[in-house]
Amino acid sequence: EDYLSAETDGLNPGPRMRAENNRPFVRIKTAISMDGRTAMADGQSRWITGDEARADVQYWRARSAAIITGVGTVIADDPKLNVRDQRFSNAEPLRVVVDTRGRTPPEAALFEEQGQIVIASAKGVGSINRAEMWEQQNGPLIDLAMLLETLSDRGCNEVLVEAGATLNASFFQQGLWDEAIVYMAPCLMGDTARPLASLGFDDMDETISTSVKSIETLGPDLRIILTP
């Protein structure tokens, strides 16, 4: 029975995470260069990785009940964050934008696709296009733990974070992650390019350690799955 339970949790870890921690299973997905950069300083980042890696992302989106991003990513990249692969045509994850001040453009590409959109904002921010507004009742910053608890209450078993350096850093620093899916492209982008996470550490004691769960070659790229 314990063996079967472990096997089930490995394939579908969300229900246990919700039962034990009152939050979904959180995956952080990012694509980086060999020197750990995600985009050039001016924001250029499209297609760092090849077709195989981008197809793999569709699988992780499709199995997620929600995709979380930040307003900075919405403004810079204007992503749709939808599932385009016809193999997963029934998948329609909730799309969540962490946007404290309500800066999400009403004409953002997110709104071009069907499916629910939630904007997590500070109290008093007005409505934006057709999005459902989730208001942070206390404090100027979004409480990510509370947001995840809300998503758990809505029945979300697994969520995928596809965000920039600031929001990634918040999830890492607060320990609100269970896996990181890192696609590494065989290129160097230089030290002025944007990092995976803006952590600002000065001391080795501050570093966040991870364990390698798997490494797989996808076309020209590597997919590295890490756990805390």
**CATH number, domain containing residue 210:** 3.40.430.10
Query: Residue 209: inside a domain, yes or no?
Result: yes
161 vs 70: CA distance, rounded Å: 9
Query: Residue 119: inside a domain, yes or no?
Result: no
Query: Residue 108: inside a domain, yes or no?
Result: no
Q: For 158-181, write each residue's pLDDT tens digit.
A: 999 999 999 999 999 999 999 999
Query: Residue 120: inside a domain, yes or no?
Result: no
The residue range of the domain holding 206 is 2-95+144-227
Cβ neighbours of residue 215 closer than 8 Å, sequence gap 6 or more: 222, 223, 224, 225
The reported pLDDT for the residue numbered 44 is: 60
Q: How confident is the model at residue 2 (pLDDT cuts 50, 70, 90)?
A: very low
The pLDDT of residue 56 is above 50:
yes
The reported pLDDT for the residue numbered 10 is: 66
Cβ neighbours of residue 203 closer than 8 Å, sequence gap 6 or more: none
Query: Residue 80: inside a domain, yes or no?
Result: yes
Distances (CA, A) of 128 to 78, 92, 197: 15, 20, 28
Residues 197-217, mean pLDDT to the nearest whole number:
87
Query: Residue 55: inside a domain, yes or no?
Result: yes
Q: How confident is the model at residue 85 (pLDDT cuts 50, 70, 90)?
A: confident
Q: For 108-150, write each residue's pLDDT tens digit.
A: 999 998 899 999 998 888 899 999 999 987 777 899 999 999 9
Burial of residue 139, with CB atoms counted within 10 A of its CB: 0-12 exposed, 13-18 middle, 19 or more buried? exposed
Structural domains in the chain (count): 1
Contact (CB, 8 A) for 31 and 165:
no
Query: Residue 133: inside a domain, yes or no?
Result: no
Query: Residue 131: inside a domain, yes or no?
Result: no
The pLDDT of residue 1 is above 50:
no
